[in-house]
Amino acid sequence: MAEWQAEHVVDESAARRLIGAQFPEVDLSRLDLLGEGWDNTVWRAGGWVLRCPRRAIVLPGMHRELQVLPQIAGRLPLRIPEPVLVGRPDGDYPWPFSGCPLIPGREVGQVGLDDSDRAAQAGALAGFLRTLHAIDPATLDGPPLPEDANRRADMQLRVPRCRARFQEASELGLWRETRAAGGLLHEALELPPARPTSLAHGDLHLRHLLVGGRELTGVIDWIDVSRADPAVDLVPYWGFLPPAGRQAFGETYGPVRPDQLVRARVLAVFLALTLAVYGRREGVGWLEREAMRSLDLAMSG
């Protein structure tokens, strides 16, 4: 069974039933499937976005989203989901779900940004991450956040998983490991333990950046929010920005240690290949293409 195999899918009839029964203020005259990923089925109804978990593993992260996002939304320079509606299990659907005001924009891979467009967003991306990473997790209300919930910064775990993804991508004819990629993984294994010092999004890959026109408008999908080394959020430095945009990113964000850049680069390669494999196996051509472009960017410069 694929890693992303859904345990429960909220189809249109179920969405109408769940939303209509619990949130009569939401206009259901037009209900559109906004997206499906590993973790959620996402419906748009009027000015609302409803996210319905597809797998039980998502639920702890969803509860952390509900805890953290209302506390930080007004402090960040890009929009993030603000869960206003919290639905309860009902009928055959056993889990809570959430509703947020719509953030205008589409996924990066659906917009077609060229390198100059991407480089122009370096300052906005850096300013967002600088502000996020300056928030002290200890000041947030609620239970303490876990440290690096998915061990993104742990290279002793990430490097073997990255090698496994190399093999899977090779078997699908997507990509073959290069000497540079092998050298990157070797370097990563020599790093000291990461420092979980900051509030982090935790899974900031290309599907979680929204673009309106040619500009970043929002950052979505926060189920991996945690205390972590800031490196885990620097994936777009490698996988979204071209080399020409990275200097501008640094000028706004501030100093980044060499070990953080290595961790972020390993993650960028791993996540790009993960999305490319998903896109190939699920027949999502635009995502496969965008993920492979992200991989090319991560291995350049």
| pLDDT single digits (tens) 35-44 | 888 789 999 9
Nearest to 68 by CA among 53, 57, 81: 81
Q: Which sign, positive or negative, has the C-alpha torsion 81, 207, 246, 250?
A: positive
In which band, very low, low, confident or very high, does the pLDDT at 1 lie, cut at 50, 70 and 90? low
Higher pLDDT, 37 or 230: 230
Residues 6+ away with beta carbon under 8 Å from 59: 53, 95, 96
Closest CA to 249 of 161, 119, 109, 133: 119
Which token pair is 177?
């490991």
97-128: pLDDT as tens digits: 999 999 999 999 999 899 999 999 999 999 99
DSSP 207: G
| Banded pLDDT at 200 (limits 50, 70, 90) | very high
| Whole-number Å distance between alpha carbons of 253 and 131 | 9
pLDDT of residue 31: 94
- Quote the CA–CA distance of 25 and 185 in Å, as a whole number: 51
153 CB-near residues (< 8 Å, 6+ apart): 194, 196, 228, 229, 231, 232, 263
Domains and CATH numbers, the chain: 12-101 (3.30.200.20), 106-298 (1.10.510.10)
Instruction: Measure the CA–CA gap between 16 and 61, rounded to whole angstroms.
Output: 25
- 């973790």: which residue's tokens? 39
